[in-house]
């Protein structure tokens, strides 16, 4: 039986809705950023690609099907009950260094959940391979999910990370707070560090962050603070993602940037760049392939 739970997103007044009509000229917000709403599509801005518009912060998360089945989906609904995309319709940033994070995989679980980037409304589902549900070989020890309105462009080579191309997905977040979160929960986070994972030749960024409601959030603001207040965590995250495919007979993943986590400023640079890539994607400046833009 399908279940519905009501959750408040971290969004308040900023958002962008993908227009489901003819593309029109962009409009400027009060802070000068170009955006699209129901009447306009956005162009690249020096600020995170977002706009002050129509988004209702009351989001319902509706589960369809039974967990751990091929048909299971977690949809996001706006206040009117209309399906919206967690990838495209929830804003990336709230300003003042605060970002939205959508939980796909709660900590201490191993079902490999992900936003279905090729399905309408991009619901969360369990990943599959050869028709079978995918699981990690062991529990993930942190909350894991995505930054909305970001995209790792598979046509763009990163000269700082061995020339690797993006993995065609939103940017991943590893949230290190103490609480286990729920699938579909939207958290306010602050980024702290970045790991440049290379998975079968593709660049797959991991942004390390903490939820603002975590008891230790006020103590950590950059990579060195993570080492001080969460000792061993950055190494544990790197090792977990490096090794999780080995039990299935695959080689270990690799990491660029000297195998070390980059600092907060670098993480913010990656977020900005991938937000710009997403902006090009949704205004169809680049080929979307099988990706859903709605």
The residues annotated with a catalytic role in the active site are 136
3-state secondary structure of 241: helix
Structure tokens at 146: 């995505």
CB atoms within 10 A of CB 20: 8
Is residue 106 a contact partner of residue 182, using CB atoms and an 8 Å limit?
Answer: yes
For 103, the enclosing helix (H) or strand (E) is strand 98-105
Rounded to whole angstroms, the Cα distance separating 67 from 109 reads 13
For 226, the enclosing helix (H) or strand (E) is helix 223-229
Number of alpha carbons in the 13 Å side-chain half-sphere of residue 193? 25
For 189, the enclosing helix (H) or strand (E) is strand 186-199
């Amino acid at each position: 039986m399908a279940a519905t739970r009501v959750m408040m997103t971290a969004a308040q007044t900023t958002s962008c809705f993908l227009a489901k009509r003819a593309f029109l000229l962009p409009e400027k917000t009060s802070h000068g950023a170009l955006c699209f709403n129901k009447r306009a599509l956005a162009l690249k801005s020096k600020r995170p690609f977002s706009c002050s518009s129509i988004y209702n912060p009351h989001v319902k998360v509706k589960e369809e099907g039974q967990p751990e089945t091929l048909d299971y989906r977690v949809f996001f609904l706006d206040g009117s009950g209309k399906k919206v995309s967690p990838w495209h319709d929830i804003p990336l940033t709230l300003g003042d260094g605060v970002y939205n994070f959508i939980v796909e995989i709660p900590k201490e679980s191993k079902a490999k959940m992900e936003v279905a980037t090729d399905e309408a409304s991009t619901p969360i589902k369990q990943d599959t391979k050869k028709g079978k549900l995918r699981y990690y070989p062991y529990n993930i020890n942190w909350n894991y999910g995505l930054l909305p309105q970001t995209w790792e462009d598979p046509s763009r080579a990163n000269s700082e990370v061995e020339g690797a191309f993006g993995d065609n997905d939103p940017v991943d977040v590893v949230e290190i707070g103490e609480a286990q979160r729920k699938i579909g929960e939207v958290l306010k986070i602050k980024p702290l560090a970045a790991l440049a994972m290379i998975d079968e030749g593709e660049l797959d960024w991991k942004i390390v962050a903490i939820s603002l409601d975590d008891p230790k959030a006020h103590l950590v603001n950059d990579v060195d603070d993570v080492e001080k207040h969460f000792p061993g965590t950055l190494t544990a995250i790197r090792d977990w993602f490096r090794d999780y495919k080995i039990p299935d007979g695959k080689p270990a993943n690799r990491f660029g940037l000297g195998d070390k986590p980059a600092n907060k400023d670098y993480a913010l640079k990656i977020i900005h760049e991938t937000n710009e890539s997403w902006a090009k994607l949704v205004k169809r400046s680049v080929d979307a392939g099988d990706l859903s833009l709605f």
